[in-house]
Structure 1
Amino acid sequence: MKRFKAAVVAIATMAGLAVAGAPAQAADTCTAGGGGKYICDYGVKEHALPSGEKEQFLVGLDYAVWTRWTVGKQWTGWVSMGMPDPFGSARAASGVNVKDEQSQGKLRTIIYLQNSNGATVAKTRDGLGTTWWAWDFPNCC
């Protein structure tokens, strides 16, 4: 009988650990607008465009950077910007940071993050409606 009670206590203890472990994992995963899942610690970075439209950036559960933007005040779906490989994944405690600068009369947007190797990496867009460049090490931050 003592063995049976010990087995029941052991099973109950293991079940309690499994249940206790589940909420901690769930707390690390958040849902953004449009159903985007992301790592809560990194947050969602919202960026206002001069036209009044907006864009958002987040680090997804795959550790890639994801973005979406508004067109006519309606949000698009989430689009992966990929991982900053071969520079490591987007495991940045600070999340994604956005900086705008004027370059030859165009609004250049640069997103920065710290990769899993501890280096700052960036992705640049030369103007609104243009393609993002490949991940690279920035000249400045």
Structure 2
Amino acid sequence: MKKIKAAVVTVAAMAGLAVSITPAQAADICTAGGNGKYICKYGVTKHDLPNGEDEQYFVGTDYAVWTRWTTNGSWSRWTSMGKPDPYGKASAASPIKVTDTQTSNQFRTTVHLTNSNGAFVGKTRYDIGLDWQNWDFPNCC
């Protein structure tokens, strides 16, 4: 009888442990539109483009920066921008900020954040529709 009682107590304790761990773990990972999974504490950064389209950015569960955008109001799939370290050793460790610079002939967008090495890093696109440059250490923001 003591063995059965001990087994019941052990099972109950394990069930209580599982219940207490699961919500905390679930709170750390969130889901964005398009089934994108991201680190909740860094959130999703929304960005409006001057042509009326939208972009979103987040730190994924792999600690890389991910983005998606609209074209004629329809969202693209999430696309990885890679881990934010020019040397490939660090990962994202802060919310993402987006800055724009408008000149007479160009609309430059830069995403920037702090990586896990503590460095302030950024990635720039020199106009809408162009490819992103490599991660770098910007002198601004």
**TM-score between both structures, scaled by the size of structure 1:** 0.91
Gaps of 5+ in 1: none
* CA displacement 1:68-127 (0-9 Å, x = unmatched): 0010011111111011232510121xx110000135631110001111112111000011
- 122-131 vs 15-24, which deviates more? 15-24
What corresponds to 1:75 in structure 2?
75
Cα distance in 2 for partners of 1:57, 1:5 equals: 52
Secondary structure (helix, strand or coil) at the match of 1:6 reads helix
Cα distance in 2 for partners of 1:103, 1:124 equals: 15
Q: Is it true that 1:2 corresponds to 2:2 in the alignment?
A: yes
What corresponds to 1:97 in structure 2?
97
Q: Is it true that 1:134 corresponds to 2:134 in the alignment?
A: yes
Identity value in percent: 60
AA matched with 2:74: Q
AA matched with 2:133: W
What is the CA RMSD across the aligned residues, in angstroms?
1.5
What corresponds to 1:26 in structure 2?
26
Q: How many residues align?
A: 139
